[in-house]
Amino acid sequence: STQDDLLLYNQTKGNARLARIVRLGKLNVYPAKATLKGFSLGWTVIRQVAHDAMIFYNKDTGGTAIGRLVNGVFETINPAMQLKYGWSHIEALPGFLLFYDTEQGLAALTPFNGVGPLQQGLGDIFEFEKGYSHLVVVENVIWPTNRREHWLLAYDGTTGNGGVFTFQDGRPVKT
């Protein structure tokens, strides 16, 4: 989703519809019978990575694109590219995207400013913990200094184990 719009993507057909939440439990799909076409088949990760930008990633092929949804119109802002295949999660951090592979326990950070293209390729790939099924980035404001700190909350839905990480020198550090 971006701003107030939701992108409802059909992975097998490669098309999408736009919707807006009008109240709890009610979606307004618009235009009523129109379908956005031209999306690739098989995107496995679609994440909001900036105020109005989304990344599309195919875990099986490594295919990646970044686009923007504005006033019901979708436009690509980053040409299609190939990244390492196998990333199960992509999370936005200030100035970076975090890529995570739950099966291999690998991660990578790559610079991303939210408005321009993603650099071709990724930064250094490093070892991380395996098995997290859910990742959430939260911003914490430290009182009384108002210093902002970003944390990564990680959870394994199978074992119930989790961790809280901060970022130091471009790497997540378990707290």
Please write the tens of the pLDDT for every residue from 151-172. 899 999 999 999 999 888 778 8
Please write the tens of the pLDDT for every residue from 86-131. 999 999 888 888 999 999 999 988 888 776 556 656 777 888 899 9
Whether the full predicted model's pTM is greater than 0.75, yes or no, is: yes
Question: 47 forms bridges with which residues in the sheet?
Answer: 55
CA dihedral (121, 124, 127, 129) positive or negative: negative
